[in-house]
Amino acid sequence: MITKNPFPVVGYHGSSMFCDREKETDKLSGNLRSGLNTTLISLRRMGKTALIYHVFNEILREKQSICLYVDLYPTRSIKDLTRQLATASINVLPQKKWAGKRFLTFLKGLRPVITYDPLTGAPGVRFEYSAQSDYEITIAALLNFLNDQGTDVYLAFDEFQVIASYEEGNAEAMLRTMIQPLNNVHFLFSGSNRHMMTEIFNSSKRPFFASTRIISLPPIPADSYSRFIAEKFIENKRKISPEAIDFVLEWTRRHTYYTQSVCNTLFSSGGREIDIHSVKEICGEILDEQEKTFLQYRNLLTGNQWQLLMAVAKEGNVYKPHSGEFVSKHSLGTPASITRAIDALLTKEMIFEDSDSGGTYYSVYDLFLSRWLERQ
């Protein structure tokens, strides 16, 4: 019998494979049950999508309701958003709810297309727009349809910051106007671009200003993650030393995706007892496997951008990129060239901007890339 790896890298696999997040789960579920729309902000791959599914799972265990997850990352317009929402709705709501004139009212601008999973062959449905469709009426009708289901509906829009770049310049105002009168649909807006999400929900000039409670998602506490990792090895009659776990958490900076990835690889290695030397070897192998990809990044950047990227990686977090000490230490260019390089790297999502008690800082987005650059 093949043992299932207890460290999934993507997706939500139930509460038994979900580490901690008790505080965030209680806060999010409490807000949604109380009718408080909430904004969840975190770095990409920090586990926010799994957290959303975990919260929905907890809500569904306690009460009969409808939970919908809509990924906005691939969308570029309100039309795309409507298509994604319609697809999510028909795949979750009971079939009987889709009968009658109300369904046909909002569906008239869309046509269903039968799809099949390329791996399992399982059938599914997605929606495409008819040639002549009024998508503003369509999404308004769909949201009202959800509001009239006779139960609470919890709707998560993931990567919500993309709405700011929609083709329709008034997309935020349009959606805010449609959402405001809904009494039974409760919204969770999540995003990975802290700057843009903060602008959308905290700027007094934006339609969503002061409309939600905002929650940030920090790394999982070291003690909780350490216990989780140890327990999963023990449950499978394996051992991993405390020193090995400490190294994993320090090396991955407790960033969920990278921690899970390293632990997944360690577990897959088949070793009955994992020590710190095994961990270091696995970490090195992970970086070696991705070296060709990382080298390709070099061709996408100018010399100044690559030099700054390496400098940021070697420092970890850079609070003062224009300081004389930092510039001299890494042989960087003029303040103006550094500013241009920072802007370019932010746009290409090679680095990100965040803040803590020490102030605003820059860090490399891909932690594996960061660790690889440290070796150069």
Determine the number of helices (DSSP H) and then strands (DSSP E) in the chain: 16, 11
Looking at the DSSP bridge assignments, the partners of residue 273 are: 239
Every domain of the chain with CATH number 1.10.8.60 lies at 222-289
- Percentage of the chain surpassing pLDDT 70? 88
Amino acid identity for residue 116 in this structure: Y
Confidence of residue 141 (pLDDT cuts 50, 70, 90): confident
Asked whether the predicted pLDDT for residue 133 surpasses 60, the reply is no
189 versus 90: the higher-pLDDT residue is 189
Q: Are 83 and 126 in contact (CB under 8 A)?
A: yes
Per CATH, the number for 303-374 is: 1.10.10.10
Fold of 222-289: Helicase, Ruva Protein; domain 3 (1.10.8)
Residue with tokens 């990924």, as numbered in its chain:
71
Confirm if 22 and 198 have CB atoms less than 8 A apart: no
* ∠ CA 243-226-222, rounded to 5°: 100
CATH match for 21-216 among 3.40.50.300, 3.90.79.10, 3.40.109.10, 3.30.870.10: 3.40.50.300
pLDDT digits (tens, 9 = 90+) for 309-351: 999 999 999 999 999 999 999 999 999 999 999 999 999 999 9
And the tokens for 174? 């349009």
317 DSSP 8-state letter: S
- At residue 67, what are phi and psi to the nearest 5 degrees? -120, 125
Closest CA relative to residue 294, chosen from 185, 370, 194, 184: 370
| pLDDT tens profile 3-19 | 899 999 999 999 999 99
Residue of 143, 142, 169 lying closest to 77 (CA atoms): 169
- 262 bridge partner residues: none
| pLDDT value at residue 89 | 86
pLDDT at 59: 95
In tens, the pLDDT along 123-132 reads 665 666 554 4
Residues 252, 258: contact at Cβ < 8 Å?
Answer: yes
pLDDT for position 100:
44
CATH 1.10.10.10 region(s) of the chain? 303-374
pLDDT confidence of residue 27: 97
pLDDT tens digits for range 248-274: 999 999 999 999 999 999 999 988 999
pLDDT computed for residue 105 by the predictor: 55
Q: What does the longest C-alpha to C-alpha distance in the chain come to? A: 70
Task: Give the pLDDT confidence score for residue 217 in this predicted structure.
Answer: 95
Q: How far, in Å, CA of 77 to CA of 162, rounded?
A: 9
